[in-house]
């Protein structure tokens, strides 16, 4: 991977690795069991700058490139996916829409508290009737004076409870379908104010809190249990025009762009999970003896580990390449979908394989691999299900084939049909 990584990347990786070993690994299992949000570690991550890695320094971030951010998410996920999704959802879903599509005033007002980790952010797209088909958004935004009145609800929203700044979509022009969707910045107070205050972050008094925006009950999830997921209600919530993000009708297209970036983050998170499971399995295989030999001497175990290592290498190339394209301003939508698709499925395979290598021990909470398997599953669902990733990739490859065909000129001017197939 040296071709992608600079000495600064390696140093950042090492810093996050040490933090994850010291502060995350000892509490990961307890957090999974209790579902407690890890405010103490969020504070530590904020102090390290990890909640604003790709945000420009002028807005309070670390000013690093996309690959740096990807490395942070991957490193955290090797030890705990809940910490990794907290950083990932906050950065790509919470902060980046404002950074990418906000006015200078919106950036100045909302990005610094997000980038410093003073408050957490999130993104509300999914609704009860609009999941994979996000264009089916029902939340309405109706003009009212100098602003809009929002009504509706968003489900499965990461940080809906513990976060304070959100970008949400709502329909401003119902007849225009996806082109009638607009996005807005809304603020609500953290529901865990006391706990957050005790660690010294999680709330910013100066935010324009919107009456009528509130969080529902915490979802009881299979994995990512220490990550906060809830419904976000928008009830007769009046939002000033100054908090409309981008032009009317741009909300859907902007969210799609946000998801392209988010997918590289989920790929990195999946990669970290797969690597964490692999590392546990290889250590165990080296220690465990059966039939008078270490189990890694058995060829079936070696082959399983060899396949895992090969797929990890492939997944890392896909993910780092997508981040590399993004940081150079090149198109990366297809590559991000490929990385997310491949790595999330790899995370499922690798965590299941790790459980198999650990045998009965892998099926208990004495080892982290069963938690990693539960954490991996949602990577095939969030930020566009893997069926949706295949649709995205399919559209890209078909378009590329059509473009190649068009570049070859009209059929009549070419060699006999069938001599060279476009596929
Ligand atoms: C832990 C967690 C955190 C989340 N965080 C957020 C968040 O912060 N913000 C946010 O907005 N959302 C969030 N989500 C929502 C997530 O993005 C959606 O769950 C996801 O997009 C799928 O939507 P859905 O659950 O409604 O499934 P559905 O769209 O109902 O899909 C059900 C099944 O049908 C398949 N399907 C649907 N359409 C097609 C098609 N055209 N072709 C083939 N198959 C299809 C799907 O792939 C899936 O297998 C989160 C979800 C979870 C579980």
CATH of the domain at 396: 1.20.140.10
State the pLDDT at residue 421.
39
Q: Which atom of ligand 1 is found nearest the CA of 158?
A: 8
CA 124 to centroid of ligand 1, rounded, Å: 13
Would the CB of 255 count as within 6 Å of ligand 1?
no
8 A C-beta contact, residue 51 and residue 65 = no
8 A C-beta contact, residue 214 and residue 235 = yes
Would the CB of 226 count as within 6 Å of ligand 1?
no
Would the CB of 126 count as within 6 Å of ligand 1?
yes
CA 342 to centroid of ligand 1, rounded, Å: 17
DSSP 8-state symbol, 130: B
Query: Tokens 């906060």 label which residue?
Result: 228
- Ligand 1, atom 2, residue with closest C-alpha: 156
Residue range 248-263, pLDDT digits in tens: 999 999 999 999 999 9
8 A C-beta contact, residue 71 and residue 15 = no
Would the CB of 125 count as within 6 Å of ligand 1?
yes
Would the CB of 337 count as within 6 Å of ligand 1?
no
CA dist 13 and 5 (Å) reads 10
State the pLDDT at residue 409.
77
Would the CB of 156 count as within 6 Å of ligand 1?
yes
State the pLDDT at residue 414.
57
Which residue range is the domain that position 299 belongs to? 254-405
CA dist 142 and 239 (Å) reads 10
- SS3 assignment, position 180: helix
Residues 6 or more apart whose CB falls under 8 angstroms from that of 55 comprise: 61, 62, 63, 91, 95, 99, 111, 114, 115
Would the CB of 382 count as within 6 Å of ligand 1?
yes
Which element (helix H / strand E) includes 76? helix 66-77
> Considering the domain boundaries, does residue 356 fall inside one?
yes
CA 380 to centroid of ligand 1, rounded, Å: 9
DSSP 8-state symbol, 416: P
Would the CB of 123 count as within 6 Å of ligand 1?
yes
8 A C-beta contact, residue 277 and residue 351 = yes
- Ligand 1, atom 23, residue with closest C-alpha: 131
Would the CB of 221 count as within 6 Å of ligand 1?
yes
- SS3 assignment, position 62: coil
Q: Which atom of ligand 1 is found nearest the CA of 130?
A: 26
Q: How many CA atoms lie within 13 A of 395 on its CB side?
A: 8
> Considering the domain boundaries, does residue 26 fall inside one?
no
Pocket test for ligand 1, best of 89, 156, 222, 228 (most atoms within 8 A of CB): 156
CA 410 to centroid of ligand 1, rounded, Å: 42
Q: How many CA atoms lie within 13 A of 100 on its CB side?
A: 22
Q: How many angstroms from the chain centroid is the CA of residue 8?
A: 23
Q: Which atom of ligand 1 is found nearest the CA of 122?
A: 8
What parts of the chain have a pLDDT lower than 50? 417-423
- Give me the catalytic one of 30, 370, 383, 387: 383
Total-model pTM: 0.95
> Considering the domain boundaries, does residue 82 fall inside one?
no
40 catalytic, yes or no?
no
State the pLDDT at residue 412.
61
Would the CB of 229 count as within 6 Å of ligand 1?
yes
Count of the separate structural domains present in the chain:
1
> Considering the domain boundaries, does residue 69 fall inside one?
no
State the pLDDT at residue 408.
85
Residue range 122-173, pLDDT digits in tens: 999 999 999 999 999 999 999 999 999 999 999 999 999 999 999 999 999 9
CA 156 to centroid of ligand 1, rounded, Å: 9
8 A C-beta contact, residue 230 and residue 218 = yes
Would the CB of 89 count as within 6 Å of ligand 1?
yes
- Classify residue 38 as left (phi > 0), alpha (psi -120 to 50) or beta: beta
CA 134 to centroid of ligand 1, rounded, Å: 9
What stretches of 42-96 adopt beta strand conformation (E)?
Answer: none
> Considering the domain boundaries, does residue 324 fall inside one?
yes
State the pLDDT at residue 418.
44
> Considering the domain boundaries, does residue 351 fall inside one?
yes
CA 174 to centroid of ligand 1, rounded, Å: 22
What's the CA dihedral at 25, 30, 34, 38 to 10 degrees? -40
Residues 6 or more apart whose CB falls under 8 angstroms from that of 342 comprise: 267, 314, 315, 318
8 A C-beta contact, residue 377 and residue 223 = yes
Query: Tokens 């200078």 label which residue?
Result: 104
CA 48 to centroid of ligand 1, rounded, Å: 32
């Amino acid at each position: 991977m040296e071709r992608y990584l600079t000495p600064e990347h390696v140093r950042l990786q090492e810093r996050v690795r040490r933090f994850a070993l010291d502060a995350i690994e000892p509490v990961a299992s307890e957090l999974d069991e209790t579902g407690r949000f890890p405010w103490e570690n969020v504070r530590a991550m904020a102090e390290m700058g990890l909640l604003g890695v790709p945000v420009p320094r002028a807005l309070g971030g670390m000013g690093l490139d996309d690959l740096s951010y990807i490395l942070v998410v991957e490193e955290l996920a090797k030890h705990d996916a809940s910490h990794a999704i907290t950083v990932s959802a906050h950065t790509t879903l919470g902060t980046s829409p404002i950074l990418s599509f906000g006015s200078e005033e919106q950036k100045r007002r909302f990005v610094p508290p997000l980038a410093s980790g003073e408050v957490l952010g999130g993104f509300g797209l999914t609704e009860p009737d609009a999941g994979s088909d996000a264009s089916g958004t029902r939340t309405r935004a109706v003009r009212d004076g100098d602003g809009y009145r929002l009504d509706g609800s968003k489900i499965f929203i990461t940080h809906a409870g513990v976060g304070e700044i959100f970008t949400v979509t709502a329909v401003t022009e119902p007849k225009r379908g996806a082109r009638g969707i607009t996005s807005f910045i809304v603020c609500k107070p953290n529901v865990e104010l006391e706990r957050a205050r005790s660690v010294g972050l999680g709330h910013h008094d100066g935010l324009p809190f919107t009456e009528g925006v509130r969080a529902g009950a915490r979802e009881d999830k299979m994995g990512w249990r220490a990550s906060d997921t809830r419904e976000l209600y928008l009830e007769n919530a009046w939002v000033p025009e100054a908090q409309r993000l981008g032009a009317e009708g741009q909300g859907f297209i902007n969210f799609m762009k946000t998801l392209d970036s988010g997918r590289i983050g989920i790929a990195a998170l999946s990669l970290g999970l797969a690597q964490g499971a692999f590392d546990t399995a290889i250590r165990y295989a080296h220690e465990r003896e059966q039939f008078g030999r270490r189990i890694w001497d058995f060829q079936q175990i070696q082959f399983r580990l060899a396949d895992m290592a090969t797929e990890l290498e492939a997944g890392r190339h896909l993910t780092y390449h997508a981040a590399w394209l993004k940081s150079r301003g090149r198109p990366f939508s297809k590559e991000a979908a490929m990385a997310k698709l491949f790595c999330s499925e790899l995370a499922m395979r690798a965590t299941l394989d790790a459980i198999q290598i650990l045998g009965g021990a892998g099926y208990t909470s004495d080892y982290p691999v069963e938690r990693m398997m539960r954490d991996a599953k949602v990577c095939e669902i969030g930020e566009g299900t893997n069926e949706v990733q295949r649709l995205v990739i399919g559209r890209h490859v078909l378009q590329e084939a059509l473009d190649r065909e068009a570049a070859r000129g009209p059929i009549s001017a070419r060699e006999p049909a069938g001599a060279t197939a476009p596929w």
